[in-house]
Structure 1
Amino acid sequence: MAVREDRTSVLACVDDEARKQGVAPGMSTARALARCSHLAVLEKNPSAEESAMGWLIALGFGVSPRVEATAAGEVTVDLRGVKNLEEMAGQIADRADRAGIAIRVGISDTPERAQWASYGRSHLSHAVTDEGLFGGMGLHEIPLPAEILRRLREWGLTCLLEFVRFAKGAVASRLGPEGVLLWERMKGRRARLLTVIEEPPVFRREMELEHRVETLDQALFIIRRLLEEVCSSLLAAGKIARSLELFWRTEAKVEGGHGFALPEATARVTPLFAMIEAYLSGVRTEAALQLIGLEAEPGDPLPEQRDFFEISAKSPFQFQETVGRIQGFLGEEKVGVPVREPTHHPDACELVPASTRIQVEEGAMTYGKNLGPALRRFRPPRPIEVWCEEGRPVRCIWKRSSHRIQAVRGPWRISGDWWDPRYRWSQEEWDVEWGSQFFCRLVRVPSGKWRWEGVYD
């Protein structure tokens, strides 16, 4: 990877294959290409580096609650209390392999020595002795101060272990306080406290778009990439997503988004992407997209005890995908499960988000004696003309046809919300019969108008 300093491109880091060809960090790009003509030089990508650093921090929190962002691309984790360090290191390596990210793990007794252990030739190094840490490690493999590095080379040293074996007095007389401080840190005699990250990691990824995104396929391609990064960070931290938030901003500076209440907590990309794709199939924006992002609410992957009195969907994500498609066509406010409101207003209900689990109400499965015929309501009620004699309905007109009311019961007067002028209501209900065995309910409101509210079975 190359960065530019004073108009000169230098290498910030190199991989193992480049090291074998004599290429080292800090070398100019021209010099590196002269040594290795087939060297692939990549420009620095701040967005990708930020994403990788977020993944690395999440990986650290998956191991310990004490994590320090030491430097760009480096995280230090306090492992005190971990019993099996080798097993833990293997789990870290497995998570990195699944994410497709190459990392180096160094374990030692102080933060500095752990950092130097990660510079070794092995991807996993666990050492607490001087020989295990610095044996066979060249001077260029650890970033040393330039003046100290120059003097060590003048002395003819080629291995860091030779420097560590010096006596403290010899180091002080030749290199001064700076050399003594470095020697004590390499010997593990001086350890620092970690600057712990106080807040847990945020599983959020967003992308500023350089080119116009106007089609659904273009947006889905970017969303898939962001979703893979979010899920990878979740798995690295040992977490799963309990909910997901999709957000965007258009070129007209109009922001939009949608929250997904997941039917089951997961960190699998395929079902989450299918749910997002189903929702976006019915979404249209007035301008091209300028920014797209995703954020997941993390949760612990603990087994969940199901309720015995509960009905669950066989395929929760397929159910949620279907609901998402319906919401995309009809709008979120028109899709849901009707739930009765705590009021005496007839047929008063609200829509709540559709859930993959339905709680069976107590007594819902009992079979008792029917109290009477069921009223099948019209939604919305139908306006109708009614003639009355002595305050009782005697004839009604529906679709220009006049019908004589043969029997009538009522009225039943009900009202509610009288304390609030905005929502107060009142009405009187009549059960009537017209035609041949045709029973229905008519309602008169305070304005004097009538409504046909439904029919009885």
Structure 2
Amino acid sequence: MYASFQVPLFSLAILLRDRPDLISGPVALVCCAPDSDTSTPSTAAKPVILAVNHEAARCRVTEGLSPTKALARCPHLNLISSNPADECLHQDALREYLASLGSDFEETAMGVFILDLMSIPHAMKFPGEWVEQALRKATPLRLPLDVALARTPDLSILAGQSPALRHTLRFNADPIFCMAQHPTFAIQHIDSQPVHSLNCVSTEIALEAELLSLWGIETLGQLANLPRQGLAERLGPEAKIAHDVLHGKHHRLLRLHRPPERFNLSQQLEYPIETMEPLLFALNRGLRTLCSRLQSSQRAASSLRITLTFDDGDLYAHKIELPEPTCDSSLLLRVIQTHLSTIHAPAPATGWSLHLTSASHEGKQYHLFKRSLKNSRRFMDTLGRINALLGPGRLGVPFLLDTHRPDSFQIKGALCGDNIAAKEDQNGYNSSPRCGLIQNGTSLPLSRFRPTLPIHVVSDPEGRFPKPLALLNGPYCGPVTTSNGPFPISGHWWDPVERWQQVEWDIQLTSNVLLRLAYHSPNHWVLEGIYQ
């Protein structure tokens, strides 16, 4: 036995929930849909009517109409737009409501659920009493709800669309409960429903309603009276499945909803801990528990977050990224120990919390000509020690930026597999034959100063750009004997914040030192590098 829970006109119902002044009048839900007249997506969206209430339907306002045509048919029509954020919130509330009734339920669509009653003995023995209790439990939601019982999941959806078989909950000032006239399902109670209602029941059914209408078959009762073999020969296996659904012979399995499992563990210590050894002992027990839960669910930890609370009320939290997913508690404990050895606790610890981010085990593809991590434990331990020496945010992989600005790069996380792969691709691109020719054509390599060194330069203001004559300070001072330039470069001229412009000069001093200077307006010189 199965029970279907359906919120009629879900998107429209949640909007009218907090606007009771619109319930008595004609209301239509409007959403912008792409223009289907062209094969490419249109830049201008075409608004259409998605759903209408009973009063709007009496004025011949139907789904798919444009707002202009709908207002022409019903001048007093109220148009409201959908709110996806509210829909997700109410869907979560409905999901929690179904979980309070039973654990085995399917989230069929937005506002539509199917509950398996085999694990609920009270519902199997006293279905009418159980349905009434379920409806009363749904009153805090303040949403209209239809509940119907049937022997298969698909029939329960069809029974929920029949006024004779569904139990309803409506709201005026107070909740209104209406029990079904016929609590036992029979096909006679759904024989007047249109044929296209089957398309909403299962993804396996896609009947051509227009073709069946030409044959004079417009209702479910007319379709159920036809011979099954004849339908299968003329309309294919989908018609056979539809025939079996109507006669209760198609019993599909529910796609059971299972909430994501959280791998969290926390503990408030009875006595404050002042040294690291007892804290690591407690953390080791927690890690073993979490890793055993990970192994039982065939998962691994891709990152861990540790939170410590101290006796003075202070709180410390840190997230550690792992180079590859693992469920080895000893490895995770060593990572935590390496990190905790770098911090100074302001007071004794009074509690701790661990959170593991679960991920699936990664499959490794070893290559003949590419190097991979031989020992991820040692690599992770080395990165932890380097990060402790340099400080947070100072360890990563450098990437060249897509710009002509000299020495432009960005540091990204060293533990991200995508960054490592992108770095290999970038190195492969830089080592291409074309780049090799350019690099071989350079006479001398340039060693850059990071950051550049600001200096004072005596320059000749004649000409478009000032020409360096002598260096007054910095690591290299003296008059300029030879200069090559100017080389003006610029970029991002369209962005007032990111725009940049500089003029480069290659110079030689009396000491035969070859340098590169850069001039930034107004009258700002920097030493970029030295030629080796």
TM-score tier by shorter-chain length is 0.5 to 0.7
> How many Å apart are 1:436 and its aligned residue?
4.6
Instruction: Give the 3-state SS of the residue equivalent to 2:371 in structure 1.
Output: strand
The answer for the alignment partner of 1:351 in structure 2 is 411
| Residue 433 (1) aligns with residue 503 (2) | no
Counterpart residue identity of residue 223, structure 1? L
Distance verdict in 2 for CA 1:420–1:210, change over 3 Å = farther
> How many Å apart are 1:454 and its aligned residue?
0.7
Instruction: Give the fraction of aligned pairs with identical amino acids, expressed as a percent.
Output: 31
Does the 8 Å CA contact 2:104/2:257 hold for their aligned counterparts?
A: no
Write the mapping of 1:186-197 to structure 2, written as runs, cut at 5 A.
none
Alignment length, in residue pairs?
273
- The structure 1 residue matched to 2:338, chosen from 278, 282, 306, is 278
The answer for the alignment partner of 1:371 in structure 2 is 441
CA distance, structure 1, for counterparts of residue 345 and residue 407 of structure 2 = 36
Does the 8 Å CA contact 2:387/2:395 hold for their aligned counterparts?
A: yes
Write the mapping of 1:372-451 to structure 2, written as runs, cut at 5 A.
372=442, 373-389=444-460, 390=462, 391-399=466-474, 402-451=477-526
> How many Å apart are 1:365 and its aligned residue?
4.5
| Residue 200 (1) aligns with residue 273 (2) | no
CA distance, structure 2, for counterparts of residue 311 and residue 302 of structure 1 = 17
CA distance, structure 1, for counterparts of residue 335 and residue 459 of structure 2 = 56
Write the mapping of 1:323-362 to structure 2, written as runs, cut at 5 A.
323-355=383-415, 358-359=420-421, 360-361=424-425, 362=428
Does the 8 Å CA contact 1:313/1:356 hold for their aligned counterparts?
A: no
Distance verdict in 2 for CA 1:301–1:313, change over 3 Å = closer
Write the mapping of 1:33-432 to structure 2, written as runs, cut at 5 A.
198-301=258-361, 303-306=363-366, 310-355=370-415, 358-359=420-421, 360-361=424-425, 362-366=428-432, 368-369=436-437, 370-372=440-442, 373-389=444-460, 390=462, 391-399=466-474, 402-432=477-507
CA distance, structure 2, for counterparts of residue 253 and residue 308 of structure 1 = 54
Query: For structure 2, which runs of at least 5 residues remain unmatched after alignment?
Result: 1-98, 106-117, 122-253
Higher relative contact order (CA 8 A, sep 6+): 1
Distance verdict in 2 for CA 1:363–1:309, change over 3 Å = farther
Does the 8 Å CA contact 1:278/1:322 hold for their aligned counterparts?
A: no
CA distance, structure 2, for counterparts of residue 229 and residue 413 of structure 1 = 63
Counterpart residue identity of residue 349, structure 2? L
Does the 8 Å CA contact 2:322/2:415 hold for their aligned counterparts?
A: no
The answer for the alignment partner of 2:160 in structure 1 is none
CA distance, structure 2, for counterparts of residue 410 and residue 263 of structure 1 = 47
CA distance, structure 2, for counterparts of residue 400 and residue 295 of structure 1 = 51
Instruction: Give the 3-state SS of the residue equivalent to 1:231 in structure 2.
Output: helix
> How many Å apart are 1:217 and its aligned residue?
2.6
Does the 8 Å CA contact 1:384/1:397 hold for their aligned counterparts?
A: yes
TM normalised by structure 1 equals: 0.53
The answer for the alignment partner of 1:37 in structure 2 is none
Distance verdict in 2 for CA 1:347–1:399, change over 3 Å = closer
Does the 8 Å CA contact 1:280/1:328 hold for their aligned counterparts?
A: no
Distance verdict in 2 for CA 1:197–1:452, change over 3 Å = same
CA distance, structure 1, for counterparts of residue 457 and residue 483 of structure 2 = 13
- What is the root-mean-square deviation in Å for CA atoms of aligned residues? 3.3
Distance verdict in 2 for CA 1:453–1:203, change over 3 Å = same
Distance verdict in 2 for CA 1:340–1:400, change over 3 Å = closer
Instruction: Give the 3-state SS of the residue equivalent to 2:393 in structure 1.
Output: helix
CA distance, structure 2, for counterparts of residue 323 and residue 283 of structure 1 = 16
Counterpart residue identity of residue 447, structure 2? R
Distance verdict in 2 for CA 1:341–1:399, change over 3 Å = closer
> How many Å apart are 1:235 and its aligned residue?
1.1
> How many Å apart are 1:309 and its aligned residue?
6.6
CA distance, structure 2, for counterparts of residue 420 and residue 376 of structure 1 = 30
Instruction: Give the 3-state SS of the residue equivalent to 1:286 in structure 2.
Output: coil
CA distance, structure 1, for counterparts of residue 494 and residue 310 of structure 2 = 45
Does the 8 Å CA contact 1:409/1:431 hold for their aligned counterparts?
A: yes
Does the 8 Å CA contact 2:325/2:362 hold for their aligned counterparts?
A: no
> How many Å apart are 1:323 and its aligned residue?
1.1
CA distance, structure 2, for counterparts of residue 405 and residue 330 of structure 1 = 39
Counterpart residue identity of residue 410, structure 2? E
Counterpart residue identity of residue 448, structure 2? R
> How many Å apart are 1:421 and its aligned residue?
4.2
Instruction: Give the 3-state SS of the residue equivalent to 1:293 in structure 2.
Output: strand
The answer to which of 253-262 and 219-228 deviates more is 253-262
> How many Å apart are 1:320 and its aligned residue?
1.4
| Residue 456 (1) aligns with residue 531 (2) | yes
CA distance, structure 2, for counterparts of residue 346 and residue 394 of structure 1 = 23
> How many Å apart are 1:300 and its aligned residue?
2.8
CA distance, structure 1, for counterparts of residue 397 and residue 475 of structure 2 = 37
Counterpart residue identity of residue 486, structure 2? P
Instruction: Give the 3-state SS of the residue equivalent to 1:311 in structure 2.
Output: coil
Counterpart residue identity of residue 454, structure 1? G
Counterpart residue identity of residue 270, structure 2? E
> How many Å apart are 1:308 and its aligned residue?
6.3
Query: For structure 1, which runs of at least 5 residues remain unmatched after alignment?
Result: 1-68, 71-75, 79-109, 114-193
Counterpart residue identity of residue 445, structure 2? A
CA distance, structure 2, for counterparts of residue 388 and residue 270 of structure 1 = 64
Instruction: Give the 3-state SS of the residue equivalent to 1:333 in structure 2.
Output: coil
